[in-house]
Amino acid sequence: MGDIPSSRAAWGVAPSPRPSPTRGEGVQAQPAAPTDPKQAAAQRAQAREQAAQRDPEPSLARRFGQIGVLGWLIVLPTLAGLWLGHRLDRWLGTGITLAAALLMAGAGLGLWLALRWMREQ
């Protein structure tokens, strides 16, 4: 593949410094990188397979369910704000002032709820 810079170096981020061993501590030996490209590719494939077993990819149905939850978390407060604003505007005779204000407030609340839900996932 050639010399490809790491993603951190490509973005201009300095690598984090590694602490040097203190007196009395030996440097732990790490397994030597294989010189055979086929062996290196096999080790990378095995590492990817082990990572996939530890943290499996969610199913397509679960992904669609998450998208649906996010949609309803944003749409329901927005529509509730619009409905409430419309009712208040009709009762007070204020045109569309409260409907517009509560529509924006509902959208803001929905986005905040969606962001909070995504952080929890």
Question: How does pLDDT run across 64-85, given as a tens digit for each residue?
Answer: 898 999 999 999 999 999 999 9
Q: Which residues of 66-77 are buried (b: 16+ CB within 10 A; e: fewer)?
A: eeeebeebbeeb
Q: Give the number of other CB atoms < 10 A from CB of residue 113.
A: 16
- Taking only the tens place, the pLDDT of each residue in 35-48 is 788 888 999 999 98
Q: How do residues 98-120 score in pLDDT, each as one tens digit?
A: 999 999 999 999 999 999 999 98
pTM of the model: 0.53
pLDDT of residue 17 exceeding 80, the answer is: no
Percent of the chain with pLDDT over 70: 72
Among 119, 120, 116, 111, CA closest to 81: 111
